[in-house]
Every structure is written in C-alpha cells, then in structure tokens.
Amino acid sequence: MAIKKQIIIPIIILVVGLAGMAAFFSMKKPPAEKAIVDNTPIVAVSNISVGSMTLEVNSYGMVTPKYETELIAQVTGEIVELSDTFLRGGFVKKDQLLARIDPNDYHAALIDAQAAMATAKADLEKEVAQGKVAESEWQKITDTSPTQLSLRKPQLAQELARVKAAQASVLRAERNLERTEIRAPYDAMIDSRTIGLGSFVAVGSKIGHVLATATAEVRLPVADNQLEFLVNQGINSKVNLVGVYAGKTTQWQATIKRSEGVIDSTSRMSYLVAEFNDPYQLQNKTNQLYTGRSAIVETTKANVKANITPLRFGSYVNAKIVGNNVAQATIVPRHLVVNGKVAILDQDSTLHYVAIDIIRQQGSNVIVANGLAQGDRLIISALDYPIDGMKLALADDETALEEKNQATELSQPEQLNKLNQTREENELKVANNNASGEL
C-alpha cells in the first residue's frame, strides 16, 4: 500500500503541474494586432476662381481747393462796412460785397478828375475854333501856305494831350473808387478774415483769404512702377476717394485731370491730381428756397436719395485709382509661390507644381494672369518634404481615416472577451480533473 502511494502521489503531482502549466500557457495574451495606419500626408486646399479683374492703384492725399486767393487792399482808408457772411467758414457768391473802405475821399477825387476833364475838353474845343479862325485869316492875307504854328497846330496837340490826361485821371479815380469795395472773385468759402469794422488799411494790407468752392483737388502720390497698371498713366481715370464725414466712412468719386509731370525729389513719387466738382454740394442747395412746402420736401428727399455728402477742404482721404482690366486673373497668397510655381492637387490626389504668370504683387497676395484654371485645387497647407507627384489626402479623407481607426479599436475588446471566455473554460476543466484524481 505504501509503495502504491509512493508511485501515485508523484504521478498526481506531475499531472497537476502539467495541467497548471497548460492553464498558464492558455492564459497568455496573444500579441495585439496593430491597426493599419495610413501615413499619406493630409493637406488643405482652396478652390481657384478665375475671372475678370480691374486693377487698382492705392494712394492718399489731402483735399485742397483748386483756386485760393489772398485778398489785399489796393487803396487806403477805414473799413466802414462788413458783410455778415465775411466770416471764417462763410460761403459767398462771385462779386458779393465783403467789405467797404470809406469811399468819400475817392468820390471827391473822382469829381475833381471829372472837372479837370471838362476843363480840358473846353480848352480843346476853344483851341479848335481858334485854329479855324487863324486858317481863315491867313487865307485872306496871303495865298502862301501857312505854317503849323500859324494854324495853332502845336497848341491844339497840347490841349488834346491835356484831355487825354484828364480822361486817365477820371479812369484812375473811378478805379480807386471801385477798389473801396472788396468783393469775392468767385464762388468761395471764407478761410480767414484779418480786418474788423473800423480798421484802417493801407495799400497792400491783408484783408482775408478765400477758397474756391467750384472744384476740389487731391494730389495723389504714385510710385513710378505703379503707373504701368493705369490706363494712359492715369489721366482721365476714375478715382474712389474714401474718408470720414461726421464719424462715418464715406466715398466720393473723382477724376484724374492731370499729372504734375515731375518726380518729387524728397519722396521719389509721381503726383497725379484728381478733381472733384462742387465739393460742398452748394449747387444742390441753390433751389431750396421755394415758396411751397412740397417743393422743399421733394428737394430734401432727392438730396437724401443721392447721398449728398460734402467733401471738406483739409480732409484726409484714401484713394483707389481704377486701372487696367485683366480678362482672366485670380489672387494667390504670396507665400505659396516658390520659384514662380504653386502646388496644386490633381484629380488623382497627387501633388503637381504649375508655373504661373504673376502680373502684380498686391500686399501679401499676387495677381496671377496665366497658369491656373477655374476649379484648380490650390494646396494652402505646409508640407515637410514636397515632391512633385507624391500622393496626398484631403482633410475630408483624414476624417474618414479616423473613423476607420476608431472602428478597428472598437473590434479589439470583442477579441479579448473571447480569449477570457476560453481561459475560464480551461480553468474549469483543470479543476474537474483534480477532483477526479482525489477521488
């Protein structure tokens, strides 16, 4: 009996050990299967839109009047009258009276000159009559030809000269009398007034400064290399002026009328001069004094509909000069251009470099005339090592790949569940065998 136990017990221990080893081997986890990862570079693209484009040249400037005049006194005297509109910011019409210098002395001078001219004319007529009498008497005395002196020709010439001098004195007196009235040389706005009622002015004294309101000008500096984008170097081109009026951004349209024809020695710029008619919109206000209320209302509605906004002198404006028209063009970010080429994504999702024709650089962009077609997909994302013909994927494809990877990851827990179930079944069988051996 003891011998049987010595034989059976080692066998049982060996069987249990083998069963345990088999169980441990069955519990070993199989190597996890790695999901297939797509390493295709992901890029973002922008669809190209090609169409007609009008080039513009940007500039800036200050609004100034086309004409301005310094009013100077041409006679001496006291200011005895001032117009109510002769104030800074006042609007006046052409030939409107602004100020009056005391005219009494000049009235007296005119009367004196007129009297002198009347005396000279009387002396001339008297000398003419005396000449005729002298000629008649000479013919009665002798048949010889009379001399100039005997006919009183020198005396007649002298009296004629005195008449002309008297006429000149009258004209001078009349002109000085007219100069006592300071009138506006054109439709203008008062920029300044340097006199007051009762002031004494002399010849050459400054009276005021007026600005013509018919036309405003803007000097626009343009780089020499930008003139090639303008028709006829900008002459007669339209200009969109953008400024601020009453806190709101406002736009006006002007026209380039001339070029100054020289390059500024300081800024090295060429200057184009744009003109804008009736900057203060005074012509639209001339018919507002109607007797009927309905007419006033209709005029106001018309002004509001036309979006009439004054373009004030001294305003700073940005300008966009309308230039050449390009039939087929598109805009591309400048940083995407390398050696005159850009990268596009072909229909088969491969990278391809195309040469482009750049006609102008505009800020951070370039304007391309040739090389790109409507619907081309421009690659706008960066690539580490771009190679012509390499396979690429769009950002939309990246989303689909992530969904595929997520589906693969979700299938792995199911495989683990099956392994755990198999391990539990093996452990149960080992336990049953052990129980049978003991019995």
CA–CA gap between residue 155 and residue 228 (Å, rounded): 75
State the Cα–Cα distance between residues 65 and 277, nearest whole angstrom.
Answer: 10
Please provide residue 167's backbone torsions phi and psi, each rounded to the nearest 5 degrees: -65, -40
Query: Where is pLDDT greater, at 141 or 118?
Result: 118
Say if residue 24's pLDDT is above 70: no
Average pLDDT over the chain, rounded to whole?
80
Q: How many helices (H) and strands (E) does the chain have?
A: 5, 22
Q: Considering Cα of 279, then 280, then 284, then 286, what sign does the dihedral take?
A: negative
Lowest mean pLDDT among 3-12, 43-52, 292-301, 396-405: 292-301
**134 or 386, higher pLDDT:** 386
The secondary structure of residue 317, as a DSSP letter, is E
pTM exceeds cut of 0.95: no
For 393, the token pair is 């994927």
17, 288 contact by CB (below 8 A): no
* R_g of the chain computed on alpha carbons: 52
Check residue 127 and give its pLDDT: 74
The 10s digit of each residue's pLDDT in 90-127 is: 999 999 999 999 999 999 999 999 998 888 888 778 77
Q: What angle do CA 55, 61, 67 make, to 5 degrees?
A: 120
Residue 108 confidence (pLDDT): 94
**From residue 308, how far is each of 187, 213, 274, 300 by CA, in Å?**
19, 15, 19, 10
Q: Is the pLDDT of residue 16 over 80?
A: no
DSSP letters spanning 162-208? HHHHHHHHHHHHHHHHHTTEEE-SSSEEEEEE---TT-EE-TT-EEE
Please tell me the number of Cα atoms within 13 Å of 274 on its side-chain side: 28
**pLDDT at residue 136 greater than cutoff 90:** no
Position 375 scores a pLDDT of 87
Locate 33 and state its tokens. 């299967």
313-345, pLDDT tens digit by residue? 999 999 999 999 888 899 999 999 988 899 999
Q: Which residues contact 357 (CB under 8 A, 6 or more apart)?
A: 368, 369, 370, 371
Q: In what helix (H) or strand (E) does residue 390 lie, and over which residues does it extend?
A: none
The pLDDT confidence band at residue 411, using thresholds 50, 70 and 90, is very low
- Tell me the pLDDT tens digit for each residue of 371-388: 888 888 998 888 888 888
Query: Residue 367: is its pLDDT beyond 60?
Result: yes
Q: Which residues pair with 109 in a beta bridge?
A: none
At 421, the pLDDT band (50, 70, 90 cuts) reads low
Q: In angstroms, rounded to a whole number, what is the distance separating the alpha carbons of residues 104 and 74? A: 16
- When pLDDT is averaged across residues 396-413 and rounded to a whole number, the result is 47
Greater confidence (142 vs 48) lies with: 48
In the numeric block, which tokens belong to residue 301? 């509605």
Is residue 25 pLDDT above 90, yes or no? no
Residue type, 389: G
Query: Which has more pLDDT, 29 or 255?
Result: 255
**What pLDDT was estimated at residue 57?**
92
pLDDT above 90 for 85: yes
Would the pLDDT of 7 be above 90? Answer: no
Q: Is the pLDDT of residue 437 over 50?
A: no
Write the pLDDT tens digit of every residue in 142-196. 666 666 665 567 777 787 888 888 899 999 999 999 999 999 999 999 999 999 9
Instruction: Pick left, alpha or beta for residue 404 (phi over 0 → left; psi -120 to 50 → alpha; otherwise beta).
Output: alpha
- C-alpha to C-alpha distance for 150 and 153, rounded to whole angstroms: 8
pLDDT given for residue 18 in this prediction: 75
